[in-house]
Amino acid sequence: MAEIKGTALIDTIKAIKARAGEQEFSKIVQQLDGEAKRIFESRVSPSSWYSLDAFVQFLEADIRETANGDREVLIARSEKVIEAQLTGIYKIFVKLGSPAFVIKRISAVHATYFNGIHIIAELDDSNQAIIKYVGFQIRHEIMGYAILGFYRKALQISGAKQVEVRFTIPISAGGEYAELKITWG
């Protein structure tokens, strides 16, 4: 069973409350059932692991409630989350790092946020990278939008130009792995 670190849940909850308020957050939680509802009604621990399925259910409810089901909105929302995460010294490292360095760091950080998801970053001397996510199921498809936003914004902060981030093998394909291709100028 794939899991996600509590820190990711906390950052998402904070972003929703900042964007739409406590009442909107409560509306989203009321749409959940079972384990997902129990998780989001209780105190989330940053160091604990939580069901990725429950987190996906929460994201789906958020998008239905606040974006009329438009999953593309999640890309911009995840960009805001990473921008908030990259403050102080972390932002300096990203700004000073090459795009390849930033991609390697995000891939390494993503590996610490997921349990049961294996991340393989393939970079060479060209201005492109392939990131493989092994372990996502078709039902985790919404995670792809958040991943796109994280890489795109971090690369923009690093100064990369002509950034293109897209899944060549989407999570929704249900294959052995999802494949993300990143290019920059």
For residue 144, pLDDT over 80 is answered with yes
Chain mean pLDDT for the chain? 92
Asked if the structure places residue 45 within a domain, the reply is: yes
One domain for residues 58 and 11: yes
Residues ≥6 apart with Cβ < 8 Å to 94: 86, 102, 105, 154, 157, 158
Whether residues 55 and 100 fall in one domain: no
Residue 14 is assigned to a structural domain of this protein: yes
Answer yes or no: do 25 and 56 share one domain. Answer: yes
The pLDDT value recorded for residue 158 is 83
Identify the pLDDT of residue 83. 81
Give the chain's domain count.
2
List of E strands, the chain: 3-5, 49-51, 114-115, 118-123, 128-134, 164-169, 178-183
Kindly report whether the global pTM for this prediction surpasses the value 0.85: yes
User: Could you tell me if residue 73 is inside a domain?
Assistant: no
The reply to whether 116 and 164 lie within a common domain is yes
Could you tell me the CATH number of the domain that includes residue 111? 3.90.1520.10
Predicted confidence (pLDDT) per residue in 52-110, tens digit: 999 999 999 999 999 999 999 999 999 988 887 776 555 666 666 788 888 888 888 88
Note down the domain range covering 96: 82-183
Which of 22, 39, 67 terminates a domain? The answer is 67
Q: Compute the CA torsion angle 68, 20, 167, 152 (nearest 10 deg).
A: 140
